[in-house]
Chain A
């Protein structure tokens, strides 16, 4: 890791402030993210939505389960973004073996259940350790930071629900005068495919917007933890001043 090349100002921050810096990282590299994340997510979301004919609740469940796998591509882009590197889809495609297929099973099972997955994911995906070393690394990252990591996850989970509900309410609001109640009961209670499709679409849209922020927040929190553990801020200053 070339600490001096990091395009983030390193200093000791509270964990929540590091998560905020992640939000700004997404702003600055929105173009890189769009170029890679939009096509990838469009394909996955369309495939997931196509399963609505099998069971009305299946697309939502599929998207939910696939999130840790989708996060890997986002983290790949963001890990380059902290060095100010632009990413194109071709770059992601070239790295697909490590980004998409490495540790596929644990990504889809164990990672899905982790309550702080975006915080520990960089250690698993970027540090390339295995077995015992990897477990120790994870424990070291989490020591004393479980609360902060879970708090971040908890906030984003709630925002996801709020945004989904907000989008669903928009549908209700755009209903013709006097029919709001009917539309509302159609949306929540009918067992048809149409309303489930609307809800699944809203969920997909929210994931599309929110997931980059979630991954970036966890990633910068991880970097912040390394500032704490390894004095990266001082290394950055020293290399800039004395090298």
Chain B
């Protein structure tokens, strides 16, 4: 079994969902961005509230409390399911069943930030992120939540034009996906590398002696995508 970071969640309908849990690097950076935002808001609030004297000081303490405890919960329950820092890093908080995070779970996972904060500066939280394969910290364990990557990387471009042609044999789904992915990668690869990869799949695009394999395999890719007839 090749090593992968996927987390398999099963829906009540028996469908296996592969979630991509996020670990130390992405979450560490997201946390730092959020910290900077909270600090910025706090500094702004203190400048405004200083004018109010003692009453302002009390308001400032309330603001601090609200920022510390409310900020993550409010943003996690919003539509994007992520604080601004997480959003910048392309992360999202979900239940470990793949469903959107519930208010109760969001509150629990953020209350337990104190447990991760101890003994000092999130040392415990960092340790759990390094030691668990699903990258859950204590709060995630208690609330049954998961921080996942919400965006995927696409290296695909448009397919170069070619005459559609059927493959020499029936292809499985993964094989079809691989051929189409190869074709979509054309703009990123040198022609030599593109051809080198095509020759690995020579057997499904047989042709007269000589000549490059890439144009024929491209034709197969177009055929797999449902293009028939004249070149596009």
A interface residues with partner B (beta carbon < 8 Å): 6-9, 12-14, 16-17, 19-21, 23-25, 27-28, 151-152, 154-156, 158-159, 161-163, 165-170, 173, 210, 213, 217, 228-231, 233-235, 237-239, 241-243
Contact = CB atoms under 8 A, between A and B. Distances in A.
- The dominant DSSP class at the A interface is helix
B188 A231 contact: yes
Given A14-B90, A16-B29, A238-B201, A166 B3 contact: no
Interface in B100-137: 119-124, 126-127, 130, 133, 135
Given A159-B126, A230-B193, A234-B181, A20 B121 contact: no
Identify which of A7, A16, A23, A242 gathers the most chain B CB atoms within 10 Å of its CB. Answer: A16
Interface residues of B, number: 50
Nearest to A228: B155
Contacts of B200: 235, 238-239, 242-243
B116 to A, nearest CB: 11
B201 A165 contact: no
Contacts of A16: 22-23, 25-26, 29, 89, 149
Nearest to A4: B200
A50 to B, nearest CB: 28
A158 B27 CA distance: 13
B202 to A, nearest CB: 8
Nearest to B122: A162
A200 to B, nearest CB: 18
Nearest to A25: B3
B178 interface: yes
B119 A173 contact: yes
A119 B185 CA distance: 24
Contact of B174 (A12, A25, A241): A241
Given A9-B2, A24-B133, A166-B123, A14 B197 contact: no
A7 B2 contact: yes
Interface string B38-63: 00000000000000000000000000
Q: Give the top 6 A-B pairs by smallest Cβ distance, nearest first.
A: A166-B123, A20-B23, A16-B26, A155-B28, A237-B178, A9-B4
A14 B123 contact: no
Contacts of B127: 163
Contacts of B130: 23, 159, 210, 213
B124 A166 contact: yes
Given A14-B90, A234-B181, 10 more contacts: A14-B26, A16-B29, A19-B25, A159-B126, A166-B120, A166-B121, A230-B189, A230-B193, A231-B182, A243-B200
